[in-house]
Amino acid sequence: MMDDSSVKDFTPENYTMMQAFEWYVPADQKHWQRLRRAVLGLKATGVDNLWIPPGCKGSSQQGNGYDVYDLYDLGEFDQKGISTKWGRKEDLVQLVHVAKEAGVGIYWDAVLNQKAGADRVEQCQVVEVDPNDRTRAITGPYPIDGWLGFDFPGRGEAYSSQKYHWYHFTGTDYNNANGRTAIYRILGDGKNWSNFVDKEKGNYDYLMFADLDYTHPEVEADVKAWTTWLCGQVPIGGIRFDAIKHYSEEFLRSLVEHLDTSVGPGWFLVGEFWQDSVEAMTTYIRNMQHKFSLFDAPLVYNFSQLSNTDNADLTKVFDGSLVQVEPVNAVTLVMNHDTQPYQALAADIQPFFKPLAYALILLRAEGYPCVFYGDIYGIKGDHPYPPSCGGKVPDMCLARKLYAYGEQRDYFDYPHCIGWTRLGTRDRPFGLACVMSNAEPDKKWMYVGLEHKGEGWTDILDWEQGQVTINQDGWGCFVCPGRSLAVWVNQQAEGRDRFGRL
């Protein structure tokens, strides 16, 4: 048992998550196997949790799972093929087992807004709505044949007997009777778009495919039962909720309460609420009683703008970001599957700026950083990209795990060169100094602590050669290359031999 002094001196470990896929991962049904083989190496570099892709059966084996067909099929039943794009259920179970043994948590990507790949058409009454103002009907009521009947014939009654019909949905986008694509709001007693969604486009309930109606008690009950069932199938430690601004916030609050009571509290929950309005994001976090985190979309756009602007002011990098106002509930990131090149929300970040951005999310005290599979392993597809940052993202993850502790001192005092130091703690004493420039090579005098006087510090990235000797007052003159950065750490610090191994 630890005494009071040892508890007081204990510094909590830094954690990092990784989005464990990119949009163009090959559809070879082998991704669960790839991740299983990668787990130990990722853990050794400081990755503690994997946000895995949607593991439920999609409408095809080429889809990434956001075209979700059956929540209760994890690659087990012969419907739309047996495997998901990522592999069979047994591959998933093996991945989760290996991760658990290695101390790596799994975050599930839950796609709860829509269903796709219906088994048959059903007729229903609709009105067409204005795509730019979904509150405005542009036709009178008329019938369509919509792909809205879900029978799950390959699974049958296994795990859930719930089937889905037109009345379980609020909208769809295709009339099979005439081949017309539009946004159709489904009519019925009391049926309408949810009031608890984002107000973009008047009402942003409808996103794609067949839009689920969470005011229908059978939909609510089935999805809540699925979350309990899922936890019995694969031991996960958290959920990433897709597209939360498109379905009922009220339902999601009740789902969080359901998870607390049926599975237990303490889960990590993060939502994709892709907004450039920090005010809207902070309101959502408050409404969710701070049990919920959000991805910091405004920060991604800051990175993109700064990297594409001549003479950009680095001191403003966190202005208007979520992490600036909600540091505990902000998941910081540089890129994801939606913002990678050639995707709908592509946010172009120049290659020289990527290492700066990763240092800004990984080596500072605020936020929970999420690194991107495509930046570590490269992007496939018709427009392939190599690993970014010269392959140094794993080294920055490891620097976070080993050295990014203690008091943070910022030197955001010059537009084109900023830096900060972490002074270390009693039980994690080494600290670090990071300096970066978006212009010419530069340098900064920065304080790292009297306890480091006389130490020789070197750049863990090996982009700066030479050594910085910490003076008698605890200061050092830290340099960095032009349009780049350096991360300086005591050359004798524990763990320096672990860099460059992934």
Active site residues: 242, 272
DSSP 467: -
For residue 437, list its beta bridge partners: 417, 484
Taking the C-alpha atoms of residue 105 and residue 235, their distance in angstroms, rounded to an integer, is 9
Could you tell me the two tokens for 238?
A: 């958290």
Coil vs helix vs strand at 190: coil
- Sign of the four-CA dihedral 43, 46, 49, 54: negative
Q: How big is the chain, counted in residues? A: 502
Taking the C-alpha atoms of residue 497 and residue 491, their distance in angstroms, rounded to an integer, is 10
Could you tell me the two tokens for 50?
A: 């994997």
Contacts 24+ apart (CB under 8 A), 491-498: 491/455, 491/456, 491/457, 491/458, 491/467, 492/455, 492/456, 493/402, 493/403, 493/430, 494/402, 494/430, 495/398, 495/402, 495/403, 496/460, 498/44, 498/398, 498/402
Name the nearest CA neighbour of 407 among 416, 420, 398: 420
Phi, psi of 213 (to 5 degrees): -105, 100
Taking the C-alpha atoms of residue 426 and residue 171, their distance in angstroms, rounded to an integer, is 58
Q: 467 and 456 in contact (C-beta within 8 Å)?
A: yes
Taking the C-alpha atoms of residue 431 and residue 141, their distance in angstroms, rounded to an integer, is 66
67: CB partners within 8 A, 6+ apart: 58, 59, 60, 116, 117, 209
Three-state secondary structure of 100-118: HHHCCEEEEEECCCEECCC
